[in-house]
Amino acid sequence: MAARVKKGDTVQILTGDEKGERGTVHAVLPKEDRVIIAGHNLIKKHQKPTGQMRTQAGIIEREAPMNLSNVAPVCRNCDRPTRVGFRTEDGRKVRFCKRCGEVMD
């Protein structure tokens, strides 16, 4: 499946408690159809000390993966959430905004 959202893209959250907020994609998990957005969808993880380095124990706050269908990429040109299309330009496959037609790559 083609990568409609890539690391570094600005996306808008479409569902949940953080609906309407924007963030930057920190990581994409294509096999799981999930995406991690920096500073959003925070969870509290109860961490035990592990290994030789003895990582710090306690309650850690970190970003949880979010389903890819719950976010929409934001076009830089029209500054609105949009669907992504693909076309070939100069022999390269590029992503483009379905609203304004601007190339996103």
Give the distance from CA 85 to its chain's centroid: 17
| Angle at 65 (CA atoms; ends 87, 57), nearest 5 degrees | 150
Where do the structural domains in the chain lie, given as residue ranges? 10-74, 79-105
The pLDDT assigned to 51 comes to 76
The correct CATH number of 10-74 out of 3.30.1950.10, 2.120.10.70, 3.30.70.260, 2.30.30.30 is: 2.30.30.30
Q: Collapsing DSSP states into helix, strand and coil, what is residue 68?
A: helix
Q: How far apart are CA 69 and CA 9, in angstroms?
A: 15
22-74 pLDDT, tens per residue?
A: 999 999 999 999 999 999 999 999 988 887 777 788 999 999 999 999 999 99
Question: Are 43 and 66 contacting, i.e. CB atoms less than 8 angstroms apart?
Answer: no
Q: CB–CB of 81/72 below 8 Å?
A: yes
The one-letter amino acid code at 51 reads: G
What does pTM read for this prediction? Answer: 0.83
